[in-house]
Chains A and B, each alone.
Chain A
Amino acid sequence: MSRGFRPDSVLTVPSIQIAQLSTCHDRRAFDCGAPELDNFLVRYASRNARKGLSVTYVATAPGRPAVHGFYSLSAGEMVRADLPDDEARRLARYPVPVVRLGRLATHLDVRGEGIGALLLIDALRKALRLADELGTYAVELDAKSSSARSFYEKYGFKALADDKLHLYIPIQTIRRLFRP
């Protein structure tokens, strides 16, 4: 994950383009160090988009096909576990719509160039647009590791109590970021 932002002069990819994954993009050489994420990009990302399960966006150098990073977005909802009747009456139980940020990853070759953070901001911007159109309370994600969790917490995501890799940021916070 990103260590922060370096001066432009030392970046191998100073400017990037982020677009929805298409056949123009070269995914075969993508290597983020986690084979399941590489495999998702190569084998399942397009298939999931066709099925309506998730949409994947990729970062490339402008006009170049090689993928330097990607993330996926999908709709989700949170529900509370079933409870005995007396407890169920105490707590509200209604599904809460969320935008699910899945599988954000960057190529090992550009690690430390801030591309993970750029992808994250891009995802939050898209989530806010979706919230304006259909109503959404938060962006949620499942961090794959404690280091991934630290990356998201650095940007203000908060973890749950029982599942500490399950993280959220409220749409209200995102709205204040883009529309202060």
Chain B
Amino acid sequence: MDASHKVIQQHKTTELTVRDWERFNDILTDASEPNKELKTALREHESRVST
């Protein structure tokens, strides 16, 4: 692996402990509804932001 490839690989890959891997999978499996604050922020974004 050359140096530049190694930099990119380290940049993008995160290794989790077993406990965190299980927690991560739980978070993905049990995706919650967006909460009230997130919905409020979306409305604010729609009224204040142009791209």
Contact = CB atoms under 8 A, between A and B. Distances in A.
Interface of A: 5, 14-19, 52-53, 59, 62, 74-81, 83, 87, 91-92, 95-96, 100, 114, 117-118, 120-122, 137-138, 140, 154-156, 158, 160-163, 166, 168, 170-174, 176-178
Interface string B18-51: 1111111101100111110111111011001111
Nearest to A54: B11
Interface residues of B, number: 35
B44 A117 contact: yes
B17 A154 contact: no
Contact of B20 (A77, A156, A161, A173): A161
A16 B40 contact: no
A78 B44 contact: no
A158 B21 CA distance: 13
24 contacts: A5-B40, A14-B48, A15-B49, A59-B49, A62-B50, A74-B12, A76-B12, A76-B14, A77-B14, A78-B14, A92-B25, A96-B24, A96-B28, A114-B44, A138-B27, A138-B28, A140-B14, A162-B17, A168-B28, A170-B32, A173-B33, A176-B33, A176-B34, A177-B34
A53 B8 contact: yes
A81 to B, nearest CB: 5
A80 B18 contact: yes
